[in-house]
Amino acid sequence: MTRREKIILAVTGVVAVVAVGYLYLDAGPAAPTRSSAPPQAQTQATAQVRETAQALARQAAPGGVETALLAALDKPWREAVLYDKPLEARGGTGRPTVVPRFTGYVELGSGRLAVIDGYEYQAGDTLEGGGYKVLAVSPDKVTLESLANGQRLDIPYDGQDALGR
């Protein structure tokens, strides 16, 4: 566990302890111990609240928008409606259709990380969408190998610093 995670857990624990203290220990003199209303008035008030809740529930029947939404939920969805990466071709060549973008580079000691399509990779990793394996990482380019046919692909750096080059 990293130091940051330990700090977050410690702060969460302190907040939980303080919340429990306020909840159970700080009832104070303002908290009512008994209801001052007579039992008959409580029964009438309860009945009135019940009637109001039932009237609101009868009024809450689904309208046109709700009915249309429920009908749309029953229809089948497109496969890629919630997935922003290209889906693998079915029965195709297995070759990726989109070339990944190399947008970041980090060097930590002897380790080199490349940010490709928003994910961090080092040499030997397979890209998230599949199809490519990272062979080499350098500040200027990343060398990938296609898993389908073994073809090598050099992707130049395309990050913020590349705009001034």
The domain that holds 123 is classified in CATH as 2.30.30
Q: What pLDDT sits at residue 79?
A: 62
User: What range defines the domain where residue 151 resides?
Assistant: 102-164
- What are the angstrom distances between the C-alpha of 57 and each of 45, 50, 63? 18, 11, 13
Instruction: Compute the mean pLDDT over every residue in the chain, rounded to the nearest whole number.
Output: 78
In a domain, 129, yes or no: yes
- The one-letter amino acid at 74: D
In a domain, 136, yes or no: yes
Q: What pLDDT sits at residue 143?
A: 94
Q: How many CA atoms lie within 13 A of 111 on its CB side?
A: 6
Q: Percent of the chain having pLDDT more than 70? A: 73
Q: Which two tokens mark 126?
A: 């397979």
In a domain, 65, yes or no: no
Q: What pLDDT sits at residue 141?
A: 93
In a domain, 34, yes or no: no
Q: Tens digits of per-residue pLDDT, 138-163? A: 999 999 998 888 899 999 998 766 55
Q: Tens digits of per-residue pLDDT, 64-115? A: 777 777 777 777 766 656 666 665 555 555 554 578 888 998 888 888 999 9
Selection from 160, 110, 105, 159 nearest residue 137 by Cα: 105
In a domain, 75, yes or no: no
**For the ranges 10-14, 29-33, 98-102, which has the lowest average pLDDT?**
29-33
Q: What pLDDT sits at residue 161?
A: 62
Q: What pLDDT sits at residue 60?
A: 72
Residue 38 has pLDDT above 70, yes or no: no
Predicted TM-score of the model (pTM):
0.41
Q: What pLDDT sits at residue 86?
A: 61
Overall number of domains in the chain:
1
In a domain, 74, yes or no: no
Torsion angle (degrees, nearest 10) of CA 18, 19, 24, 25: 30
In a domain, 32, yes or no: no
In a domain, 78, yes or no: no
